[in-house]
Amino acid sequence: MRYGIFSDVHSNLEAFTVVFDYYKKENIDKFIFLGDIVGYGADPNRVISLLRELGPVCLGGNHDWAAIAKFDIDYFNRCAKEALLWTQKKLKMEDIKYLETFKLVYNEGRFICVHGSPHEPEKFHYVFDVNDARLNFSFFDTRICFLGHSHVCEVYSLRDGQIRRSKDYSFEILPQEKYIINVGSVGQPRDRDWRACVCIYDSDKDVVTFKRLEYNVKEAANKILSAGLPSILAKRLYAGY
């Protein structure tokens, strides 16, 4: 099967539209969304509508849960909190009901998916480095764990007690290794590359591929400013941080 796995859209319609169009050309058998469809950006209703059209398995991110009062909004910094309060006012009842269906963990058999980490997924911990990865490898039994949350596209592989960290854009899943794969962010990358990031996992070939896609970042940023949201949320889109 070919899986389209993506995360952290954050109400960025311009980025998500490009991703949507790309995936539709890639003969994807199943889509899996790893969380945070809302937050930060200016188009929460429209990105939710597009997500529903794609029809993926959906996991809840911390922004999704906070937007529907399932997670403490005081967890967030000032700008994120301001964007969430704005988002809460924009969500329709049908959007809220849809967000309420999002899971915390999804097990596909040969791999699992979470938003933040397999260790206490309801607390949305980050996997930022090798030490975080080492802790989390002991919290799943499958060969692969796909996640998002940090907005950084990278891979941790475990073999004979040693962990390798890489940013390869295409690689084969080796039978003697175990993997934590961060699929990056569609709507707000933080790896100094502003382009939307998506992932395809071909389980027949056991190959993972990342793709970076250009989108109209100026339009997305201008919408944030026009909505009266914090200007840093617009500025960071250009730099990918």
Burial class (CB in 10 A: 0-12, 13-18, 19+), 1: exposed
pTM of the model: 0.97
Instruction: Identify the helix (H) or strand (E) that includes residue 80.
Output: helix 78-90
Task: Give the tens place of pLDDT for each residue, 110-146.
Answer: 999 999 999 999 999 999 999 999 999 999 999 999 9
Let me know the angle formed at the C-alpha of 51 by 230 and 99, rounded to the nearest 5 degrees.
75
CATH of the domain at 187: 3.60.21.10
Q: Specify the pLDDT at position 70.
A: 96
Task: Give the tens place of pLDDT for each residue, 15-56.
Answer: 999 999 999 999 999 999 999 999 999 999 999 999 999 999
Give the chain's domain count.
Answer: 1
**Terminal Cα distance for the chain, rounded:** 33
Q: Let me know: does 181 contact 146? Beta carbons within 8 Å.
A: yes
Q: Which domain holds residue 149?
A: 2-239
Q: Specify the pLDDT at position 99.
A: 98
Q: Let me know: does 105 contact 59? Beta carbons within 8 Å.
A: yes
Between CA 173 and CA 43 the distance in angstroms is 36
Task: Give the tens place of pLDDT for each residue, 196-209.
Answer: 999 999 999 999 99
